[in-house]
Structure 1
Amino acid sequence: MSVPQSLLAILDQGPCYGYQLRAEHDRRTGADQPLNVGQIYRTLERLERDGLVVRGEPDTQGHIYWSITPAGSSAVAEWFGSPAPRARAGREDVAAKVALAASLPGVDVDDVLAAQRRSSAAELARVREELGAAEQADALPRALVLAARRDALEAEVRWLDHAAQVLAQHPDHALAVALATQRPRRGRPPRP
């Protein structure tokens, strides 16, 4: 999630100071780890430079409240009106690791798949447990984030099972790819 955009969205509800923004961000996004306060202030300074927020004078306790500008409110509306970016195709780490293992002689792709499946299944069990607790505690933002993570992990486990089935049809690394003999030219892909 975009930290600048999420901070702007919170500020669109009213002025806040740094630690208050941190608490609101965590409460509203179901964040696993709190934002670093230094990151918040650096982000606020960039948003100020870009004309999206303004810094107020310190109050009697020394808190500096930040307020959103009309341009900032427009940026929030645009952000909420746009779909969230997805990972680029071909950039999924698990799939890329399995594909690489399957293409290299001497790598036991079954071991790679089994280790990843164990890890993914353990994480799925942990997330399901945490989701149950979040739902019982009526922690809606956290429950929504955990439900998305659960669904993604369930899909990952299904894909790992599918990959194991496909690769079982190609014993002894029939997919193994030898190193290319043609040297690529600098900055350009090799010609076929």
Structure 2
Amino acid sequence: MPPSLSLPEWIVLTLLDEAPAHGFAIAALTAEDGDVGRVWQVPRPIVYRAVDRLTAAGLLVMAETQAGHRGPQRSILGATPAGAAAVREWLGRPVAHVRDLRSEFLVKLALLTRRGGSLTDLVSAQRAVIAPLEPALARRRAEAPGFAAILAAWRHENARAALRFLDGI
């Protein structure tokens, strides 16, 4: 089991498992206008920090070096077998909270789509996590007083919207 990774670290690891690359290429993919950055941006310094941490954890390895066009050599990194296994497990694991659908879950969908993978298993697993929450949140909404009722209404409506979203995929 890999160490606890942040969402940016999972994104970097997954992209480098998809295809070996250098940090600058990953930073381009996770920039605001990048393929993955449209969902979740990872600034260049965070990409390089993630690369260092993932390498130290044995999840990435330098595959080769390439001469830079106008600068130093670039290290081409790829996932180790342990890194690849961690990515497969992470991409199939649903998020625990409705609030994480906007971040981690959407990133997983984007990354799975980039790989040409099926979304069916992840969406089904995610629905299985969210579906039992909806009736519990409806009860809490009906019973809560004051601001707790407002908060419960917000959470209930988000769970209902999440289920509609998952059913629409």
Q: What TM-score range do you get, normalising by the shorter chain?
A: 0.3 to 0.5
Q: What TM-score, normalized by structure 1, do the two folds share?
A: 0.42
Q: What TM-score, normalized by structure 2, do the two folds share?
A: 0.47
